Amino acid sequence: MKPIFSLIVLPSILFFYSALMMSGNSYGHDKNNNEKTSHKKTSQDEFPILKGPYMGQNPQGMVAEPFAPGIISKDGWELEGVFAPGMKEFYFTLDRATEDKKFRPTVIGFRQQNNVWKKYTEFLRRGEVSISPDGKRMHMAKGYRERVGDGWSERKSLGSMFDRKDWGIMRLSASAKGTYVFDDYKNEVIRISTVKGGKRQAPIKMGLAVNSGKFTAHPFIAPDESYLIWDSKREGGFGDSDLYISFKQKDGSWGSAINMGDKVNSDKWDAYASVTPDGKYILFNRRIDDGSDNENMNVDIYWVDAQIIETLRPK
């Protein structure tokens, strides 16, 4: 049974539930075991043998479906599916609750070796995982881990520009140019930080094209910065938080938010989108239960052909 805020409105429950897992304090963080790999269930036994691209899953079409049903997406709580550049590593988050710790978000990492996907790491989660386009950094909210050989360093802070008590970063996404886009659950906004002349610029709030509606969070910026995807609850949506996309304009501004439509969104909570590094698929999360039991949510990873982005791009 998972802890949950005593909130009535479902989107706010899910929004602040994701905040419960963020980095920077005791939320979802075992201070005595920061990034150490858990010794419980670290073997391959809990997952079947998977072969071929995309964790052995058949290519997905233009209507969103569960990703790896019964393997990754199961009864319970699985989210934040991301592939690393090169498409040879896959990470997702689940809850490793114990008798002593009722909520224990944990990242599971797989690596493809000789066409076979094998679990190779498991560590307590401190911030939502995203990986830089060059594959050299694993961003985790206001912290990151650097690629070291075939593994990752200990988590490091992004510094005082981002590591602030008055901000609640859940996800930070990076472009190939080094631009950071990140959310802030404490202030319910998305901010952007660019790099100019080799110097990191102070983050600023994005405009109303992005920061409108409620529970605006979990941004993903395209490696080439041509579009931004995030989730929010807005008028005219499908009933709960939906995925939206904005395309960068010729003058560098961000275009109006476009709802990604009923082939992606549902009347349930849809959030946490990311695009695979090969540009072919969008992975995101959907709450699939009826919403009646907020202590035992069923949240799954879904995926859909990323060609849907081109169908939404203004002509």
* Cβ–Cβ under 8 Å, residues 142 and 23: yes
> Whose CA is closest to 187, among 167, 214, 170?
167
What is the model's pLDDT at position 114? 95
In CATH, the number for domain 10-38+52-312 is 2.120.10
What are the backbone dihedrals phi and psi of residue 2, each rounded to the nearest 5 degrees, phi first? -100, 145
* Rounded Cα gap, residues 109 and 263, in angstroms: 28
pLDDT in tens, 231-255: 999 999 998 899 999 999 999 999 9
10-residue mean pLDDT profile of the chain (315 residues): values are 37 52 38 41 73 95 96 89 98 88 90 96 95 98 96 96 97 98 97 97 97 96 98 92 97 97 95 98 91 76 98 93
What is the model's pLDDT at position 45? 73
Q: Indicate yes or no: pTM above 0.85.
A: yes
* Rounded Cα gap, residues 221 and 40, in angstroms: 35
> Residue 42 corresponds to which tokens in the numbers above?
């670290």
